Amino acid sequence: MRSSVLRGVSTIPGRRALLFAAVLPPLTLLDVFALPSFSLGAFLTRVAWGLGLVVFALLFERGSETRRRLLLLFNGAAGSLFYLALVYFTGSLASPYVLLVPTLPLLAAFVYPEESGSAVASGVACTLGIGVYVLMGKGSVEQAAGWAGMVGSSTFFGLVGSGQYRKTAAALNEARVERARREALEKLAVAELQRVQSERLATVGRLAASVMHEINNPLAFVRANLNFIQTEVFTQPLAPALREELKEVFGETRLGMERIQQIVQDLKGFSHSMDAEAACECALVDVVEDAARLASIRLKSVGELKIEVSPELPKVFIMPRRLAQVLLNLLVNAGDALEEAKVPRGEVRVHGAVRGQRVMLVVEDNGPGFSPEVLPRLFEAFFTTKGTDKGTGLGLSISRELVERFGGTLVAENRQEGGARLRIELPIYAPPAG
Ligand code: ADP
């Protein structure tokens, strides 16, 4: 745990030392106010101390963890000794700077909280140094003990403070590691689900291809037989009303057959070779129509689908099937919302417009919209209100990622009149110059 604290802030103590080294020599100006005369010894002590700090910073930057610990210990003691030298050159116990000696261990703990040894080393150096000055100045042992007591208290508070700092830093570090681990796991799970989804799509594509083959054969002879029956029936004398009715029945049957063929073809085209798709200059109206054809199968039972996308809209540079996948997601979501809320006259509308240099596609419905708890979490991976058997919670997060890959944005909001609105904005295609 201790090592992670030091590793997490590895270069910081070195940088602090450099900063301190830079301000030390100019601090000589203090002497002008505090001392009766300039002290060369004090000035040189500050310069030597500053150089010492530069060496410390350089060694610290390149050191191993053990070496860094030793350097912090050494620096705690050396800093205090330099300060004691400063006190010595400015009058020993009569120096105006002597009063700050007991605070040095606290300062060491404050400046280098990563290593408690720094405060201890400073405490030991200060106790010994000040003891020597007291004895040199013919002071009493009690006097020396008084100073030692003050230094000891400051060392104690320094140790408590730096311990607290290390505990907080370690907890923060642990939280950071945990967050990174969770994010990595989440990314892995999303990637896995995306893989499963594209595998599923590929399977649907293969299945649709064989279903199409299986359906096309019977469809061909149903069509031929229908034509035969139609010709035979209409050569018979029929009452005009019956003739009209039969015409209608034949027309509807033919439409139904075409629809079956179209649905299977769409399914196949939609899910086939999604991964190998290249980006191209596309008209949004084609993409919308592709998605709408498939979505209409889902939306038929819940409401009306209205498409208001002009073929005049500027082109965009996208992978059309992927954008169709996004639109299909939004349309199916709208269908789910309308069904869930049992909206009597459900309506889903897709419309397009130009906004500055971007072209906009809006999908909106008159369903329940997004509740305040759902709205901020819509694009979170795995967020779903549909239950795990129905929703994966990946539709919107993958959709946003895809749209962003085309340089666009996907945003969601509630309509003022009620219902959800999802807005895709894409940059207008600008052909390369020349
Ligand atoms: P899923 O559809 O698997 O739940 P999505 O990411 O597509 O995942 O959607 C996340 C959630 O957003 C849905 O569970 C639903 O609560 C909400 N949502 C999406 N579209 C709509 C909409 N048109 N109206 C209301 N809620 C919606």
User: What CATH number should be reported for the domain holding residue 305?
Assistant: 3.30.565.10
For the ranges 96-110, 185-199, 327-341, the lowest mean pLDDT is seen at 185-199
> Is residue 9 scored above 70 in pLDDT?
no
pLDDT in tens, 166-184: 899 899 999 999 999 999 9
Substitution site in 302, 333, 350 for ligand 1 pocket (most atoms within 8 Å of beta carbon) = 333
Radius of gyration, CA atoms only, the chain: 40
pLDDT in tens, 108-133: 999 888 888 899 999 999 999 999 99
C-alpha–C-alpha distance, residues 314 and 68, integer Å: 62
Query: What pLDDT was estimated at residue 113?
Result: 87
Q: What is the mean pLDDT of the chain?
A: 87
Q: Where does residue 239 rank: exposed (0-12), middle (13-18), buried (19+ CB within 10 A)?
A: exposed
pLDDT average, residue stretch 391-419: 90
Query: What pLDDT was estimated at residue 307?
Result: 96
C-alpha–C-alpha distance, residues 339 and 48, integer Å: 80
pLDDT interval class at 205 (50, 70, 90) = low
pLDDT interval class at 3 (50, 70, 90) = very low
Please check whether residues 94 and 238 belong to one and the same domain. Answer: no
Answer whether residue 318 is part of any domain. Answer: yes
> Is residue 432 scored above 80 in pLDDT?
no
Question: CATH number, domain at 266?
Answer: 1.10.287
pLDDT in tens, 274-314: 556 788 899 999 999 989 988 888 898 999 999 999 999 99
Q: Among residues 78, 25, 33, 32, which one has the least CA distance to residue 52? A: 78
pLDDT average, residue stretch 208-232: 84
Q: Which domain holds residue 139?
A: 2-183
Q: How far is the CA of 368 from the centre of ligand 1 (A)?
A: 11
Q: Whose CA is nearest to atom 4 of ligand 1?
A: 384
Answer whether residue 434 is part of any domain. Answer: no
Answer whether residue 178 is part of any domain. Answer: yes
What the block records as the tokens of 422 is 């999802």
Query: What pLDDT was estimated at residue 275?
Result: 53
pLDDT in tens, 335-387: 999 999 999 999 999 999 999 999 999 999 999 999 999 999 999 877 899 88
Answer whether residue 370 is part of any domain. Answer: yes
Please check whether residues 63 and 210 belong to one and the same domain. Answer: no
Please check whether residues 147 and 59 belong to one and the same domain. Answer: yes
Q: How far is the CA of 295 from the centre of ligand 1 (A)?
A: 15
Query: Among the three residues 240, 271, 302, which one is the final residue of a domain in this structure?
Result: 271
Higher confidence at residue 270 or residue 108? Answer: 108
pLDDT average, residue stretch 397-401: 86
Q: Among residues 257, 317, 263, 261, which one has the least CA distance to residue 287? A: 317
Answer whether residue 321 is part of any domain. Answer: yes
Please check whether residues 289 and 374 belong to one and the same domain. Answer: yes
Q: How far is the CA of 116 from the centre of ligand 1 (A)?
A: 53
> Is residue 266 scored above 60 in pLDDT?
yes
> Is residue 189 scored above 70 in pLDDT?
yes
pLDDT interval class at 434 (50, 70, 90) = low
Please check whether residues 242 and 391 belong to one and the same domain. Answer: no
Find the residues whose C-beta lies inside 6 A of ligand 1. Answer: 329, 333-334, 337, 365, 367-368, 370, 374, 378, 383-386, 391-397, 420
Q: At what angle do helices 141-235 and 240-271 cross, to 10 degrees?
A: 150
pLDDT average, residue stretch 192-196: 78
Please check whether residues 238 and 307 belong to one and the same domain. Answer: no
Q: Whose CA is nearest to atom 23 of ligand 1?
A: 334
Q: How far is the CA of 289 from the centre of ligand 1 (A)?
A: 22
Q: How far is the CA of 186 from the centre of ligand 1 (A)?
A: 19
Handedness of CA 273, 275, 280, 283 (dihedral sign): positive
Q: How far is the CA of 195 from the centre of ligand 1 (A)?
A: 21
Query: What pLDDT was estimated at residue 8?
Result: 45
pLDDT in tens, 128-166: 999 999 988 888 889 999 999 999 999 999 999 999 998
| Phi and psi angles of residue 272, each rounded to the nearest 5 degrees, phi first | -85, 135
Q: How far is the CA of 398 from the centre of ligand 1 (A)?
A: 12
DSSP secondary structure string, 32-85?
HHHSSS--HHHHHHHHHHHHHHHHHHHHHHH--HHHHHHHHHHHHHHHHHHHHH
Ligand 1, closest atom to CA 379? Answer: 6
What the block records as the tokens of 323 is 């954008």
pLDDT in tens, 10-49: 567 788 888 888 888 888 888 888 888 888 999 999 999 9
Query: What pLDDT was estimated at residue 2?
Result: 44
For the ranges 92-106, 146-160, 191-205, the lowest mean pLDDT is seen at 191-205
Query: What pLDDT was estimated at residue 259?
Result: 78
Please check whether residues 226 and 95 belong to one and the same domain. Answer: no
Q: Whose CA is nearest to atom 26 of ligand 1?
A: 370
Q: How far is the CA of 271 from the centre of ligand 1 (A)?
A: 22
Q: Whose CA is nearest to atom 16 of ligand 1?
A: 385
pTM, rounded to two decimals: 0.53
| Phi and psi angles of residue 418, each rounded to the nearest 5 degrees, phi first | 100, 145
Please check whether residues 398 and 315 belong to one and the same domain. Answer: yes
Answer whether residue 245 is part of any domain. Answer: yes
Q: Whose CA is nearest to atom 19 of ligand 1?
A: 333
pLDDT > 90 fraction of the chain, expressed in percent and rounded = 53
The number of distinct structural domains making up the chain is 3
Ligand 1, closest atom to CA 386? Answer: 14
Ligand 1, closest atom to CA 397? Answer: 6
Query: What pLDDT was estimated at residue 421?
Result: 98
Please check whether residues 173 and 214 belong to one and the same domain. Answer: no
Please check whether residues 319 and 406 belong to one and the same domain. Answer: yes
- 104 with 152: CB under 8 angstroms? no
